[in-house]
Amino acid sequence: MVDDDLILIDEDDAPASPDAGDAMQAWRVLVVDDDQDVHRATELALRGLLVEGRPLSLVHAYSAAEARAAVEAVPDLAVILLDVVMETEDAGLQLVRHVRQDLQREAVRIILRTGQPGYAPELDTIRHYDINDYKTKSELTRVRLFTSLTTAVRSYRQMRAHEEIRRGFEMVIQASTELTKMHGMQMFAQGVVSQLCALLNVEPAGLICAQDGLHAEDEPARVIAAAGRFSHLIHRPLDELELPTVQEALANCLAQRRSSFEPHMLLYFSMESGRGLAAYVDVRRALNDIDRQLLQVFCASMAVGFENVLLYDRLVDQAYVDPLLRIPNLNRLLEMLDARLMERADSTLALIDIDDFSALNDTLGHEFGDAVLQAVAHRLSQGLPRSHLARLGPDIFGVLGPSDEVAVGHLQQLLHDAVQIHGQRVRVSATMGLVPLSERIDAGVAVLKDAHVALKQAKLRQRGSAVYFSAAMGQDARERMRLLSGLRHAFDAQHMFLVYQPKVSLHDGRPQGVEALLRWRMSDGQLVPPDRFIPLAEQSGLMGALGTFVLRSACQQLARLRAAGEHELVMAINVSQAQLREPDFVATVQHALVDAGVPAAQVELEITESMAADDLAVLRPLLDAVRAMGVSVAIDDFGTGFSSLSVLRHLPAQRLKIDRSFINELDHDDSIARMVISLGHSLGMRITAEGVETESQRQALCELGCEEGQGWLFARPLDEAALLAWLAERRQAV
């Protein structure tokens, strides 16, 4: 007789099973016995019974061999009712060994049944093979069988639950490993969605992650990842979901800052910043305890992941976004440029430099300056809807977009009207350099460089103008770059040296002095003329060092000439404007003299007339100081600049050098030479004629009263050995 109470054992208050979703799924029980009757009796005894609310489904095997096949074929076997003696006396025990050891099936419960008590296995075996029960067939009445089976099923269910938890944890761990590879909040959130669905074994459909003002205080909560039927909601603000239930559920979750599972599954990922994320998963089945436990672990471990991704996002933000204007910066523009170049689209890059921005900053304050930049950025982004706007420097914007939009006329139009800053109207003018991208095959950096070249040209032309880059411009700039890097190297590698051009008395040809002239021989043996590399050195800040080198080398050469018996010669040394701006110029001259041990009276510094005209206030005290040392001063290339007479009068110079161009003209027209010579003399200066090439020029200059000459008629610039030879020859001649 069956006790009905027993049949309904604990059906109600049992915790939900791992498969609670399909409550009516049967427990699978394998009956193994070589006796047909036992099968039939078992079937009869168990027919219609429910264990833990679920029916039993029997699988039959009539030998140990058949049983092996059945175990392998049925993965969710809950219990094996096993006869011990079949083909052999221990065929049953062999099967147990096979199930536990070979198949590693730990969850399936085993109840041994035997005809005679003599075949009972050792206690050790029972323990070792995890056998649930051992009964003689006569002991197993219907009720006993049922009780034993119920215990076994419960135990099976528990074992499965443990397995489930372990598998779940493994999945969580794997999920975090997978997810750490994902950068960017959106990608990570998307990953969390799919991992979560895998964990719950549901379709990755219907899941949203909402974010609570993650990047800025006042930012509304927004959907950052969505899957399945929610996919279209990505990026929407939370309050515009048009799904009232989901919307409310997520808002509640964000407000309460914790996960909940009823009536919807809502996960909360809490972050250090005090902000959090909420996920809504559309799980269409009840969640059991294990699900919930796993989800808690999942949330905790993912919260750390979210935190990291947020940090990563911030770093990316800092690397690619201008902090003041919240628009892309240089790095980002370069990436976009590269992408554009790959697309081969008809685009233009424009650099827009706000005119006189630093003056505006200085006079009206930085806050005002920032506001101007903000207003300009706004103007540009509004007026250039199809283009990208970036900030490339304090007052330089970059615009990259279709050529019909990024066009000079349109850009100037955009900035034409004054901007409003704190109720004040401010006119903004900008200078622009543009590069069309069509047919360019180089990288973004090269294009950007060209845009800077064009901008520079525009600035040279006129404030407010715009210049398109041209190939010739690039050639020029590249050539200068090549030369400049060569110049730095040459200076280091001592490829720079001095030659000396004699200056003689026009009257009797006696050597008066020499002028030191700088030379640069490139590694291929070619000489670069000083007219080309000196302006470059001045612009690049190399002239200070180069000038010091010239001063020191020339003084040392003078010392050697003196040692060779040339006691009277004056060493003329050219000085550039950049050298005069060096704070220690006077000291540099002083040291050069002292270190070489030469008298100051034998050194003459040549400054050009244009320098004299430029900056008298700066020049005057410097030259006075040099004069005070005993060094004399000459004005070079006289007649080519625009110095007024008064400037000339105020300069403490002892010599005028008439520019070569006037000497060239002497044969046709000597009026300028005549005027310069008389002017110089009236100011008490001595005169040197530059570039004397012919005897008739010499004679004409002599007649005009010019004392000294320099030029190919007497000697070309010479190196030390040639100079000494030339001097020796001269001494003999005169």
Place of tokens 């103007």: 379
> Residues 108, 214, 349, 534: which binds ligand C2E (CB under 6 A)?
534
Q: Order of strands across the sheet with 265-270?
A: 222-227, 207-211, 276-281, 265-270
Q: How far is the CB of 712 from ligand C2E (least distance, A)?
A: 4
Selected from 606, 609, 707, 708, the binder of Mg ion by CB under 5 A is 606
Please select the residue that binds ligand C2E; options are 46, 224, 477, 518, rule is CB under 6 A: 518
712 binds, among Mg ion, ligand C2E, none (CB under 5 to 8 A by kind): ligand C2E
The rounded distance, in Å, linking the Cα atoms of 636 and 655 is: 9
Q: Does 517 bind ligand C2E (CB under 6 A)?
A: yes
User: Would you say 357 or 520 has its CB closer to ligand C2E?
Assistant: 520
Nearest-angstrom CA–CA distance, 148 and 307: 51
Q: What is the DSSP letter of 497?
A: E
Residues in the interface with ligand C2E (CB under 6 A) total 22
Report the DSSP beta bridge partners of residue 456: none
Minimum separation from the CB atom of position 541 to ligand C2E (A): 15
Smallest gap from Cβ 567 to ligand C2E, in A, equals 24
Contact window for Mg ion (CB under 5 A) among 213-221, 358-366, 529-537, 573-581: 573-581
The pairing of strands 276-281 and 207-211 is antiparallel
The answer for residues whose C-beta is within 8 angstroms of residue 41's C-beta and 6 or more apart is none
Residue 530 lies near ligand C2E (rule: CB under 6 A): yes
Note whether 369 binds ligand C2E by CB under 6 A: no
Count the residues of the shown chain that bind Mg ion, applying the rule CB under 5 A: 5
**Distance between CA 615 and CA 196 in Å, rounded?**
75
What sign does the CA torsion over 592, 593, 598, 602 have?
A: positive
**Minimum distance from residue 690 beta carbon to Mg ion (Å):** 5
Question: b vs e for 336-356, b when ≥16 Cβ sit within 10 Å of the residue's Cβ?
Answer: bbeebbeeeeebbbbbbbbee
Task: Confirm or reject binding of residue 708 to Mg ion (CB under 5 A).
Answer: no
**712 makes contact with ligand C2E (CB under 6 A):** yes
Report the SS3 class of residue 5: helix
Q: Which of 617, 620, 555, 545 is nearest to 582 (CA)?
A: 545
List the single partner that 576 binds among ligand C2E, Mg ion, none, CB under 5 to 8 Å by kind. ligand C2E
Report residue 426 as tokens.
Answer: 């401010």
CB of 714 to ligand C2E, least distance (A): 8
Return the residues of window 584-613 that contact ligand C2E according to CB under 6 A: 606
Query: Of 106, 112, 26, 103, whose CA–CA distance to 68 is shortest?
Result: 103
Question: Rule CB under 6 A: which of 101-140 touch ligand C2E?
Answer: none
* Nearer of residues 54 and 655 to Mg ion, judged by Cβ: 655
CB atoms < 10 A from the CB of 263, how many? 8
In the list 636, 670, 707, 708, the residue contacting Mg ion (rule: CB under 5 A) is: 636
In the chain, the largest separation of any two C-alpha atoms, in whole Å, equals 153
Residue type, 383: G
CB nearer ligand C2E, residue 290 or residue 633 = 633
Q: At what angle do helices 142-180 and 289-320 cross, to 10 degrees?
A: 0
Question: CA Rg, the chain, in Å?
Answer: 48
Told to check if 697 binds ligand C2E by CB under 6 A, we report: no
Considering beta carbons, is residue 576 or 602 the nearer one to ligand C2E? 576
Between 291 and 690, name the residue whose CB sits nearer to Mg ion. Answer: 690
- Subset of residues 474 to 493 that bind ligand C2E, contact rule: CB under 6 A: none
Report how far residue 59's alpha carbon sits from residue 337's, in angstroms, rounded to the nearest whole number.
Answer: 69
Residue 693 touches which of Mg ion, ligand C2E, none (Cβ within 5-8 Å per kind): ligand C2E
Strands 655-658 and 686-689: parallel
Site track 455-494 with Mg ion (rule: CB under 5 A), x = hit: ----------------------------------------
Residue 530 touches which of ligand C2E, Mg ion, none (CB < 5 to 8 A by kind)? ligand C2E
- Contact segment (CB under 6 A) with ligand C2E among 26-34, 79-87, 422-430, 689-697 equals 689-697
CB of 697 to ligand C2E, least distance (A): 9
* 61 belongs to the binding site for ligand C2E (CB under 6 A): no
Binding residue for ligand C2E (CB under 6 A) from 444, 511, 691, 709? 691
Question: What string marks each residue from 564 to 583 as x (binds ligand C2E by CB under 6 A) or -?
Answer: ----------xxx-------
Task: State both tokens at 61.
Answer: 């095997």
Binding mask 644-683 for ligand C2E (x = CB under 6 A): ----------------x-----------------------
State the burial class of residue 170 (Cβ atoms within 10 Å of its Cβ: 0-12, 13-18, 19+).
exposed
Provide, rounded to whole angstroms, the least separation between the CB of residue 566 and Mg ion. 20
Residue 574 within binding range of Mg ion, rule CB under 5 A: yes
Torsion sign (Cα): 59, 61, 66, 71: positive
Among the listed residues 33, 322, 637, 707, the single contact to Mg ion using CB under 5 A: 637
Quick check: 566 binds Mg ion (CB under 5 A)?
no
In angstroms, give the least distance from the CB of 701 to Mg ion: 15
For every residue of 397-436, DSSP letters joined together read EEEEEETTTS-HHHHHHHHHSPEEETTEEE---EEEEEEE
Q: What is the DSSP string of 662-707?
A: HHHTTTT--HHHHHHHHHHHHTT-EEEES---SHHHHHHHHHHT--
Q: State whether residue 47 is helix, strand or coil.
A: coil
The smaller minimum CB distance to Mg ion, of residues 334 and 575, is found at 575
Q: Does 711 bind ligand C2E (CB under 6 A)?
A: yes
Q: Is 630 within 8 Å of 599 (Cβ atoms)?
A: yes
Whichever of 109 and 655 has its CB closer to ligand C2E, that residue is: 655
Segment near ligand C2E (CB under 6 A); pick from 260-268, 581-589, 610-618, 711-719: 711-719
Nearer to ligand C2E, 203 or 693 (CB): 693
Q: Would you state the structure tokens that stand for residue 580, as one six-digit string?
A: 């005069």
One of 531, 617, 642, 695 touching ligand C2E (CB under 6 A): 531
E strands, 619-662, are 632-638, 655-658
Whole-Å CA distances, 592 to 479, 549, 630: 34, 9, 14
Nearest CB to Mg ion, comparing residues 450 and 637: 637
Interacting residues with ligand C2E between 536 and 555 (CB under 6 A):
550
Binding stretches for ligand C2E (CB under 6 A): 501, 517-518, 529-531, 534, 550, 574-576, 606, 636-637, 660, 690-691, 693, 710-712, 717
**By the criterion CB under 5 A, which residues form the site for Mg ion?**
574, 606, 636-637, 690
